[in-house]
C-alpha cells in the first residue's frame, strides 16, 4: 500500500505564504511597468507606512484565526484607540506618553471584552466581535461628535511619519512585532499550545491546557496590537479620526488567509500574513496610482478574500 506522505506540494506552498509571495512579486512587477511613480522612493515609503497598519492588525488576526476564531472588531478598535488617545492629548492635555497609554489600554480592554464573551460566556466569536465592532465605533463617534480631533502635539508624529535608517518608523516597529510573534509561534511552548488549540480544542482540553485563558489573552493581545496600530494611524493622519480603520478587519482577514493561515484554524504563519498584508496594500496603492476608484477596490478585496479561501480549501484536498 502506498504511503501518503503528507500534504501536497500545492498545499505546503500555499500554507507557507507562497501564493502571497507570488502575488506581491506579480503585482509589484505589473504596477512598476504600468506607472513610473510606483517605484519612486516617496511611494515606496508610503507603501511601507500603509503596510505597517494592515500588517500590525494582521498579527493579532493571525493568532486569532489560528485558534479557530475571528475578530471583526479590529478596525473599530484602531479607530477608537487612536481617537481616545487624540482626545486625551489634544483636549485633556495628558501629554503624548499618557495619551498613547490610554490608546493602548483602550484597545486591550476591547480585546479582553471580546475574549471574555467568547471564552467565558461562549458567545460565537463572529457575533461577539461584530457587536464590539459596532460598540467601539459608536463610542469613537459619540466621544467626538463625529468630528476629527486635531491639535496633536508634534511629539506624536514619530510613530506615523518618522524614519529609522531611512525606512518608515512604523514599518520597522511592525517588523519587530512580526519577529517577536514568529518566535512565539514557532519556538515556544505557548505558541505550540496556541496552534494545538486551533487544531483540536478538545485534545487541548484533555491535555490539560487552559484553553479559556489562552483565548482571553489572544483576544486581549489582538486588541493591544490593534490599539497600537490605531496610534500609528492617528500619528500618520495627524489627527484623531473617529472613522479611521473602518473596513480594516476585511483587509486583515484577507491578508491572513492569503498568507496561508487556515480560516478554520490549526495552521498558519506570520510571514505569510505579512506578505498578505503587503499584497493587499500594494494592490490598493497601485490602484490608487492607476486611478482605479476606491469602490472598485472594495469589490476587488472581497473577491480576493473569497478566492484565497477557495484556493486554500482546494489545495488541502
Partner 1 sequence: MNGLLNAENISKSYGGVRAVEDVSLHVASGEVVAVVGDNGAGKSTFTKILAGAVRPDSGFLSFERRAVAFHSPKDAQRLGIEMLQQDLALVGDFNAAENLFFGRELSILGILRGKKMTDETREVLQQLGVSLPDSKVPVRYLSGGQRQAVAIGRVLAWGSKVIILDEPTAALGVQESRQVLEMIKRMRADGRTIVLITHNMDHVLEVADRVIVMRRGKKVGDLAVGNIQIADIVHLIVAG
- In the complex, the residues that contact partner 1 under the rule CB under 8 A are 3-7, 187-190, 192-193, 195-196, 199-200, 202-204, 206-209, 266-267
For residues 7 and 95, which CB has a smaller minimum distance to partner 1 in the complex? 7
Query: Closest distance between partner 1 and the C-beta of residue 69, in Å?
Result: 16
Nearer to partner 1, 187 or 306 (CB): 187
CA distance 248 to 73: 9
Q: How far is the CB of 186 from partner 1 (least distance, A)?
A: 8
- Are 193 and 214 a contacting pair, CB within 8 Å? yes
Comparison of 4 and 154: residue with beta carbon closer to partner 1 = 4
What is the spatial distance between Cα 156 and Cα 178, in angstroms, rounded to a whole number?
Answer: 23
Bridge partners of 149, per DSSP, are 240
Residues in the chain: 317
Spatial CA neighbour of 282 closest among 123, 67, 48 = 48
For residues 280 and 251, the answer to whether their CB atoms sit within 8 Å is yes
For 240, the 3-state DSSP assignment is strand
Query: CB of residue 236 vs partner 1: minimum separation in angstroms?
Result: 35
Looking at the Cβ atoms of 102 and 221, the one nearer to partner 1 is 221
> Which among 116, 45, 64 is positioned nearest to 221, based on CA atoms?
64
CB of 267 to partner 1, least distance (A): 5
Contact 312, 14 (CB under 8 A): yes
Output 74 or 204, the one with its CB closest to partner 1: 204
- DSSP structure string for 103-167: HHHHHHHHHHHHHIIIIIS---HHHHHHHHHHHHHHHHHHHHTT--B----GGG-HHHH-EETTE
Please, what is the minimum distance in Å from the beta carbon of residue 15 to partner 1? Answer: 10
Q: How far apart are CB 189 and partner 1 at their closest, in Å?
A: 5
How far is Cα 121 from Cα 180, in angstroms, rounded to an integer? Answer: 30
Using DSSP's 3-state secondary structure scheme, residue 168 falls into: strand
By C-beta, is 144 or 261 nearer to partner 1?
261
| Least distance from partner 1 to the Cβ atom of residue 8, Å | 10
Q: Which is nearer to partner 1, 211 or 282 (CB)?
A: 211
Amino acid at each position: 500500500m502506498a504511503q501518503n506522505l503528507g500534504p501536497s506540494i500545492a498545499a505546503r506552498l500555499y500554507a507557507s505564504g507562497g501564493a502571497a509571495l507570488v502575488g506581491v512579486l506579480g503585482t509589484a512587477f505589473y504596477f512598476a511597468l504600468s506607472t513610473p511613480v510606483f517605484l519612486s522612493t516617496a511611494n515606496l515609503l508610503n507603501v511601507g507606512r500603509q503596510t505597517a497598519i494592515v500588517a500590525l492588525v494582521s498579527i493579532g488576526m493571525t493568532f486569532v484565526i489560528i485558534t479557530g476564531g475571528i475578530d471583526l472588531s479590529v478596525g473599530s478598535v484602531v479607530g477608537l484607540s487612536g481617537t481616545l488617545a487624540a482626545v486625551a492629548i489634544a483636549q485633556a492635555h495628558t501629554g503624548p506618553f499618557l495619551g498613547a497609554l490610554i490608546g493602548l489600554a483602550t484597545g486591550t480592554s476591547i480585546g479582553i471584552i471580546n475574549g471574555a464573551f467568547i471564552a467565558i460566556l461562549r458567545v460565537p466569536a463572529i457575533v461577539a466581535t461584530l457587536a464590539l465592532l459596532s460598540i467601539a465605533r459608536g463610542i469613537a463617534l459619540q466621544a467626538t461628535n463625529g468630528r476629527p480631533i486635531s491639535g496633536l502635539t508634534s511629539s506624536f508624529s514619530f510613530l506615523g511619519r518618522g524614519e529609522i535608517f531611512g525606512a518608515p518608523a512604523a514599518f520597522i516597529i511592525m517588523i519587530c512585532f512580526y519577529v517577536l510573534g514568529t518566535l512565539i509561534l514557532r519556538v515556544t511552548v505557548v505558541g505550540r499550545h496556541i496552534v494545538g488549540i486551533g487544531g483540536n480544542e478538545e485534545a487541548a482540553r484533555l491535555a490539560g491546557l487552559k484553553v479559556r485563558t489562552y483565548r482571553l489573552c489572544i483576544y486581549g493581545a489582538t486588541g493591544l496590537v490593534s490599539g497600537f496600530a490605531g496610534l500609528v494611524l492617528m500619528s500618520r493622519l495627524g489627527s484623531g479620526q473617529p472613522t479611521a480603520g473602518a473596513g480594516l478587519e476585511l483587509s486583515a482577514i484577507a491578508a491572513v488567509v492569503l498568507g496561508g493561515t487556515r480560516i478554520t484554524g490549526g495552521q498558519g504563519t506570520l510571514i505569510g500574513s505579512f506578505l498578505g498584508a503587503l499584497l493587499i496594500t500594494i494592490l490598493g496603492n497601485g490602484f490608487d496610482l492607476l486611478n482605479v476608484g476606491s469602490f472598485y477596490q472594495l469589490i476587488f478585496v472581497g473577491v480576493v478574500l473569497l478566492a484565497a479561501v477557495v484556493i486554500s480549501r482546494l489545495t488541502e484536498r
